[in-house]
A and B are shown apart, each in its own frame.
Chain A
Amino acid sequence: MKPIGGIEVRSMNYSHKNVDIGVQAYQLGEEFQMLMAGPPPTGNSFTALLELPANQAMELLHSPGAADSPTELPLKRHHNMSHRSARNHPHDCAPAFPSNAALNEGATKYSGISTAAAFGGGGQDSPESSSSANAMKVKSEPMDSGSSPNSLPHTSNPTVASKNEKHTKRKEREKGKATNKKNKTAANDNSKEGERLPYVHVRARRGQATNSHSLAERARREKINARMKLLQELVPGCSKISGTALVLDEIINHVHSLQRKVEFLSMRLAAVNPRIDFNLDSLFTAGNGSVLESNFPSMVMPLMWPDIQMLGNEQECQQQWHLGSVNQPVWTRQEGHQNLIISENSLLSYDSPANSVSLHSSQQKMEI
């Protein structure tokens, strides 16, 4: 298939990177072959289209100096190369992780183009195109594992806003994530080069309207799906469930149960002490700042792992705190804060590791 002018321009830009990328892609090729062995989960015609070029892509990769983007073979039937070539120029990996705002802009700018998925830049693209074949499948995997390496380049280049970035679509970013996951062992700059894709052309599915509204709608839908995946990972026991309605059910149940727990705990706290802030004052009294440091862990420990030998420590605590309550809280706000922070440290050190880990990872994901 003879390359059209625009493609030539593009491929010349990327030819110098292909040498590095080709080797990488060859290694990736086997993994992606395995990935592609399974049937596409969503049954997109998209995936059917892309399965073919991936095979041909591998063949092309083996031939040295494969400058052409192999995925162009079956896919370049309808597209309009002129304005695409104008936009293609190399840039670093920042466009692989565009912000959501940029995504929306890019989606709306795709008016009236029924385009194929084009990946400028040689070898790296074919595994990425094949990864988009399993668009849903692969997207979910790197979401958690790839999120940490991804967050680094994302935060390092937040301000690079080239025109190409705006045209990048989410699929491309997630393909970038997929390759990033495979490239974890490889150097960062290699993965950066690989994700230096101009943008993704999304082909409208069979029977779908091809106007800008539905394309934008589809981009929006994919964004929503990606976020749903994050939610699924956060809610325990939700990753096995398939189907949006059931997942939403679980999420609703979880949020509702958390809210009920808060209500119940506040009732418990209200019942435990007659005054609303009685307990906390006596807990964090001024004179016992240093004492609290050592005693709080011993207080908290029996709560977590009831141990009889701790009772001796507890009695110590009791005496200290009685003294403290006699002195009545005359502490300044600053002192209070210090005390609070000290005791909080010991409180927090006993949190269940699973929760803190999941919270941390989800906080990371929130940045995406």
Chain B
Amino acid sequence: MRSPSSLKKEFLTKWVVGLRAWSSSSKEMGLLERKKAIKLSADVAMAAATNGTTIWSHTLINNASKDPNSKHMVQSILTSARARDQSNEPSKFPLLSPPTRCARNRVRSKKVLRKARINYIQRCSRRSAASLIAKTLVKKRTQVLKGLVPGGECMDESCLIKETLDYMISLRAQVLIMQHIAKVMELFNSK
């Protein structure tokens, strides 16, 4: 169980490391490019600042490291973490390939689910249509949520909710830090 301030500290340090890695590329970046770079480094830093047990963090880091532009930034963030905490966390994010099996499993399980559902409906024909409607509504929304949370496609419902919880906490911390930094920057630049 980590305190929220330690999460923020880690995020900030890693973010700065990542941002500095961009400057070594020594090319002029336009506004949009810079924005993308900032956002990417923030996301990767946030994912790296977690304990490394969540799926969304792994997905984020893997996706970022696939892109050749940002790969060195990701490497720098991860290596800085490892250099600092050598004893504690040897490698939380070993840069493994993302779970590709989940898509196939999902297709297979859909057929099974359909049969089970038909069975279920036949057995509980007395059940009202309202519950079925409610279920479809919930189903739609879980699909949307899966699209929102990184790596959500490969999760079942209970896992999805747990990931959403963790992701929401991390996002909130990220937003707070970025707000502070933005304010400080603007104040600094306005003088």
- B interface footprint on A99-120 (CB within 8 Å = 1, 0 otherwise): 0000000000000000000000
Bound Cα distance from A251 to B188, whole angstroms = 36
Q: Is the CB of A318 within 8 A of B189?
A: no
Bound Cα distance from A303 to B181, whole angstroms = 10
Interface residues of A in 335-367 (CB under 8 A from B): 336-337, 340-341, 344-345, 347-348, 350-352, 355-356, 359-360, 362-367
Q: Is the CB of B184 within 8 A of A356?
A: no
Q: Is the CB of B187 within 8 A of A299?
A: yes
- A interface footprint on B2-46 (CB within 8 Å = 1, 0 otherwise): 111101110011001001101100000101101111110011000
Task: Collect the chain A residues with CB atoms within 8 Å of residue B116's CB.
Answer: 213
Q: Quote the shortest CB–CB distance from A283 to chain B (angstroms).
A: 7
Bound Cα distance from A299 to B190, whole angstroms = 13
Is B155 on the interface with A (CB-CB < 8 A)? Answer: no
Q: Quote the shortest CB–CB distance from B54 to chain A (angstroms).
A: 9
- A interface footprint on B106-135 (CB within 8 Å = 1, 0 otherwise): 000000000010001001101000000010
Q: Is the CB of B124 within 8 A of A207?
A: yes
One of A23-31, A137-145, A270-278 at the interface: A270-278
Q: Is the CB of A255 within 8 A of B165?
A: no
Is B84 on the interface with A (CB-CB < 8 A)? Answer: yes
From A248, A344, A351, give the contact of B12 (CB < 8 A).
Answer: A344
From B13, B166, B184, give the contact of A337 (CB < 8 A).
Answer: B13
Is A249 on the interface with B (CB-CB < 8 A)? Answer: yes
Interface residues of B in 117-169 (CB under 8 A from A): 120, 123-124, 126, 134, 137-138, 141-142, 144-145, 148-149, 157-158, 161-162, 164-169
- A interface footprint on B166-185 (CB within 8 Å = 1, 0 otherwise): 11110111111111111111
Q: Is the CB of B158 within 8 A of A220?
A: yes
Is A1 on the interface with B (CB-CB < 8 A)? Answer: no
Q: Quote the shortest CB–CB distance from B33 to chain A (angstroms).
A: 8
Q: Is the CB of A270 within 8 A of B149?
A: no
Task: Collect the chain B residues with CB atoms within 8 Å of residue A300's CB.
Answer: 180, 184
Q: Is the CB of A266 within 8 A of B175?
A: no
From A248, A255, A271, A281, give the contact of B142 (CB < 8 A).
Answer: A248
Bound Cα distance from A282 to B124, whole angstroms = 68
Interface-central residue, B4, B174, B191, by most chain A CB under 10 Å: B4
Q: Is the CB of A314 within 8 A of B8?
A: no
Bound Cα distance from A158 to B158, whole angstroms = 22
Q: How many residues of A contact B (CB 8 A)?
A: 76
Q: How many residues of B contact A (CB 8 A)?
A: 72
Q: Quote the shortest CB–CB distance from B65 to chain A (angstroms).
A: 19
Q: Is the CB of B126 within 8 A of A224?
A: no
Is B67 on the interface with A (CB-CB < 8 A)? Answer: no
Is A234 on the interface with B (CB-CB < 8 A)? Answer: yes
From B12, B43, B126, give the contact of A340 (CB < 8 A).
Answer: B12
Is B1 on the interface with A (CB-CB < 8 A)? Answer: yes
Given contacts A249-B141, A347-B12, A360-B4, A266 and B178 within 8 Å (CB-CB): yes
Q: Is the CB of A258 within 8 A of B181?
A: no
Q: Which B residue sits closest to A254, measured CB to CB?
A: B168
Q: Is the CB of B172 within 8 A of A359?
A: yes
Bound Cα distance from A268 to B29, whole angstroms = 15
One of A32-40, A61-69, A195-203, A225-233 at the interface: A225-233
Task: Collect the chain A residues with CB atoms within 8 Å of residue B179's CB.
Answer: 265
Q: Is the CB of A245 within 8 A of B134?
A: yes
Q: Is the interface of B mostly helix, strand, loop or mixed?
A: helix
Q: Which B residue sits closest to A227, measured CB to CB?
A: B161
Q: Which A residue sits closest to B19, measured CB to CB?
A: A277
Is A46 on the interface with B (CB-CB < 8 A)? Answer: no
Q: Is the CB of B126 within 8 A of A207?
A: yes
Q: Is the CB of B8 within 8 A of A348?
A: yes
From A265, A272, A341, give the contact of B189 (CB < 8 A).
Answer: A272
Is A81 on the interface with B (CB-CB < 8 A)? Answer: no
Q: Is the CB of B187 within 8 A of A318?
A: no
Q: Is the CB of B161 within 8 A of A224?
A: yes
Given contacts A279-B188, A318-B191, A321-B188, A227 and B138 within 8 Å (CB-CB): no
Task: Collect the chain B residues with CB atoms within 8 Å of residue A276's CB.
Answer: 19, 22-23, 29, 34, 37-38
Q: Quote the shortest CB–CB distance from A266 to chain B (angstroms).
A: 4
7 pairs of A and B residues whose beta carbons are closest in the complex:
A359-B4, A266-B39, A270-B34, A270-B35, A248-B141, A265-B178, A258-B171
Which B residues lie at the A interface, using CB under 8 A?
1-5, 7-9, 12-13, 16, 19-20, 22-23, 29, 31-32, 34-39, 42-43, 80, 84, 116, 120, 123-124, 126, 134, 137-138, 141-142, 144-145, 148-149, 157-158, 161-162, 164-169, 171-189, 191
- Can you report 27 residue pairs joining A to B where beta carbons are below 8 Å apart? A234-B168, A245-B134, A251-B145, A252-B145, A258-B175, A263-B39, A265-B175, A266-B39, A270-B34, A270-B38, A277-B22, A279-B188, A280-B16, A280-B19, A282-B188, A284-B16, A300-B180, A314-B187, A341-B9, A344-B12, A344-B13, A348-B5, A362-B165, A362-B169, A363-B2, A364-B1, A366-B166
